[in-house]
């Protein structure tokens, strides 16, 4: 998972980073709230861990900006020296999902992060994932469409599963690269676009199957669901347009 850590204290930031990396997550650290907010306009993360006291704004102000201005449902965990009940209430009311008082205990941090992931991304913990005609079997790395197995290479399967696990969510190019290829891959590589193109064809991602894979210029990709009524309306609109264009 891709985690953003916002804390201007080097020791605490390092401890959180080490704990998350040891669990297999990718960490990106920030020391100022405004820098993080700017990054969130072009980057995506699976979780934010932040402190209350920051050099340019407070933690609750950062959370409110994420919820109100960016309209993001990014899971947020406060890890702070604040421990009064009023502080906890203020943080949660601002839009945070959980609140943890320091000193940091690695075991507790791990448990809270895992609990947030289970609540926020429940589909990632199932042995079989069903999305309309698309059936994923993670233990065996098998994907069936309309009951027929589709042959996918490793990276193609990982990319397909990650996209379906994040339906409706814009995923930045960097986020997709880290989730499928890991760090160290050139962000401007055409490999991602090539894999996306192949998936559109192999998985037949079109409205009649209930899904569209959209490229968001300059940002990344988003897999969207298309309901049956919308497909019928699109079909009727096209038929009417064709009928009106024909000479009588």
In a domain, 94, yes or no: yes
One domain for residues 155 and 91: no
Select from 143, 139, 120, 115 the least CA-distant residue to 131.
143
One domain for residues 193 and 110: no
Q: Of 99, 120, 141, which one is at a domain's C-terminal end?
A: 120
- pLDDT by position in tens, the chain (length 248): 899 999 999 999 999 999 999 998 999 999 999 999 999 999 999 999 999 999 999 999 999 999 999 999 999 999 999 889 999 999 999 999 999 999 999 999 999 999 999 888 876 667 789 999 999 998 788 999 999 999 999 999 999 999 999 999 999 999 999 888 876 555 446 789 999 999 999 999 988 889 999 999 889 999 999 875 555 554 554 455 455 444 44
Helix (H, G, I), strand (E, B) or coil at 85: helix
CA–CA dist 165, 46 (Å, integer): 12
> What CATH code is carried by the domain that includes residue 147?
1.10.10.10
Residue 79 — φ and ψ, nearest 5°? -130, 105
Tokens for 70, please give them.
């960016």
CA–CA dist 210, 110 (Å, integer): 37
> What CATH code is carried by the domain that includes residue 73?
3.40.50.2300
Q: What count of other Cβ atoms lies within 10 Å of the Cβ of residue 25? A: 17
CA–CA dist 198, 201 (Å, integer): 5
One domain for residues 44 and 146: no
Helix (H, G, I), strand (E, B) or coil at 12: helix
pTM to 2 decimal places: 0.74
One domain for residues 130 and 115: no
């Amino acid at each position: 998972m891709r985690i953003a850590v916002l804390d201007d204290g080097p020791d605490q930031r390092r401890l959180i980073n080490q704990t998350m990396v040891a669990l297999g997550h990718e960490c990106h650290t920030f020391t100022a709230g405004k820098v993080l907010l700017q990054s969130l306009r072009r980057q995506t993360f699976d979780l934010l861990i932040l402190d209350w006291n920051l050099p340019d704004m407070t933690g609750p102000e950062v959370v409110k900006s994420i919820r109100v201005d960016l309209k993001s449902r990014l899971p947020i965990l406060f890890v702070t020296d604040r421990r009064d009940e009023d502080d906890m209430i203020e943080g949660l009311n601002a839009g945070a999902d959980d609140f943890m008082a320091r000193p940091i205990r690695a075991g507790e941090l791990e448990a809270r992060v895992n609990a947030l992931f289970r609540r926020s991304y429940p589909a990632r913990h199932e042995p079989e994932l069903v999305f309309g005609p698309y059936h994923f079997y993670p233990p065996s790395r098998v994907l069936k469409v309309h009951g027929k197995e589709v042959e996918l290479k490793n990276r193609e399967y990982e990319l397909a599963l990650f996209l379906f696990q994040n339906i409706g969510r814009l995923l930045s190019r960097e986020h997709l690269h880290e989730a499928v290829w890991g760090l160290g891959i050139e962000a401007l590589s055409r490999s991602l676009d090539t894999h996306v193109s192949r998936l559109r064809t192999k998985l037949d991602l079109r409205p009649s199957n209930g899904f569209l894979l959209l490229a968001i210029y300059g940002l990344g990709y988003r897999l969207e669901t298309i309901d049956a009524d919308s497909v019928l309306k699109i079909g009727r609109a096209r038929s009417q347009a064709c009928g009106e264009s024909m000479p009588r």
